[in-house]
Amino acid sequence: MSAPTVLLTGFEPFGGDDVNPSWEAARRLDGRTIAGARVTARCLPCIFGESLGALRREVRALRPAAVICCGVAGSRAAITPERVAVNLDDARIPDNAGRQPLDQPVIPRGPAAYFSTLPVKAITAALAAAGFPAEVSHTAGSFVCNHVFYGLMHALARSRRQPQARGGFIHVPFARGANGLLGHDRLAEALAIAVRETLRRRSDRRLRGGLTD
Ligand code: PCA
């Protein structure tokens, strides 16, 4: 049997930026074998609808054991595995095709939300143990990242494959200089840890966390 595949995606730059660290990190892992699985990296367009179409095509073609989508969260200083995807497109800025949906569902009549099926607490703990700033996040926002995350979870939940592929989303911060704490090479190491934890664990670790407000 051939090695399982992990599909790892990043996004193209958006909002006037000229790089997106999520793709810079993901592409460094393309073709790498981690915990017995082969990583395939793909770059998604930062466009409502098209991003999800491209992702669905890759999932159908590759039949991955796990899908980890990544994007940049410009206001965050930590790597944040996302716990919840919501059925909402509400764009503060236009996407790369000039689309700016306002209070629309990602999937009409879809459920309000999906949980990540990645071991988000285990990934966060492993990242922290390796010296990365990391936190579980409870919102992926309402722009293209949440759109892709929700659409991914909807597609995986409806897939008839047994066992189902696991999936989720990780936001990364902007790199702080080529040799800084989170340059693109370091970010790639962090994503490799996320892939490894996902493959090692069928379920999440029971670690105290959550938010009080
Ligand atoms: N970040 C945006 C979309 C693409 C990306 O990398 C977001 O957080 O929605």
Q: How confident is the model at residue 166 (pLDDT cuts 50, 70, 90)?
A: very high
Say whether pTM exceeds 0.95: yes
Q: With a cut of 80, say whether residue 178 has pLDDT above it.
A: no
Q: Is 124 part of a structural domain of the chain?
A: yes
Q: What confidence score (pLDDT) does residue 2 get? A: 84
Please report whether residue 212 resides in a domain: no
- Residue 138 designated active-site: no
Question: What stretches of the chain adopt beta strand conformation (E)?
Answer: 5-11, 33-34, 37-44, 66-72, 80-81, 84-86, 113-115, 166-172
Residue 127 lies in a domain: yes
- Ligand 1 atom with the smallest distance to the CA of 143 is 9
Ligand 1 contacts CB of residue 187 (under 6 A): no
Q: For residue 44, is it left (φ>0), alpha (ψ between -120 and 50) or beta?
A: beta
Residue with tokens 């949440």: 146
Q: Which of 24, 58, 82, 135 is catalytic?
A: 82
pLDDT (tens digit per residue) in 49-94: 999 999 999 999 999 999 999 999 999 999 999 999 999 999 999 9
What's the structural domain count of the chain? 1
For residue 70, the enclosing domain spans: 5-200
CATH of the domain at 103: 3.40.630.20
Q: Is there a domain that residue 160 lies in?
A: yes
Residue 187 pLDDT > 80: yes
